[in-house]
Amino acid sequence: MRDITTEVFEAVLFDNDGTLVDSSAVVVRTWRAWADHYDVPYERFVGFHGVPSRGIVQMVAPHLDVDDATAHIDRLELEDQEGIVVLPGAIEAIAALDGRAAVVTSAGAELAARRLAAAGVTPPAVVVSADDIPRGKGKPDPEPYLAGARQLGVDPAKCLVVEDAPAGLKAGRAAGAATLAVTTTSSRDELEPLADLVVEDLAQVRFEVTDEGVRVHRA
């Protein structure tokens, strides 16, 4: 366990859905429609938050053509942006980091951009999406966060990963980063074994860029 309030980081890597924006209503609505379309029991959709859509399709419905079924859910999600809102502290967190931040999301690039825009969030210059990651290397694989660190030109071991889902926290840990969890979509009990610090949302912490790097303070 790392005490992130005493460390100095080179950058902060944020998940998007559930961390910066609340898209839960859209996610439930579109995946229910997808499940109804393919006659897949919705009860199978447990524990997949933070996993790319292709990976979810492969796990809940391995009998389907994965390309067609993934394209179907991607279309549904792109067409539905109703009810997406920014989560507390998200805008302030990105603004405070002054170029030392990236968004690392399991969504595709267009979907991520639409959801950030719908919530009124101006993303940092670096956004790593599922489109940038080889198939099979999405969260909980470390590659998304390793890619985020590479694009920023920083050491992943000197990054802080901010996540709301166990899959994303596992990816961050595997990349060697410190981890901060928010309890916006998962319980504290699920997150604590994988996070160096657990808070309610980003309004509970404050990021400060100093001459040495990024520091994290409890708000």
Q: Which residues are catalytic?
A: 15, 17
202: closest CA among 106, 114, 80, 119? 119
Judge contact between 109 and 22, C-beta under 8 A.
Answer: no
Judge contact between 188 and 200, C-beta under 8 A.
Answer: no
Pairing label, strands 11-14, 21-22: unpaired
DSSP state of 65: -
68: closest CA among 79, 52, 53? 53
Distance CA 7, CA 178 (A): 9
The DSSP secondary structure of 99-154, one letter per residue, reads T-EEEE-SS-HHHHHHHHHHHT----SEEE-GGGS-TT--TTSSHHHHHHHHHHT-
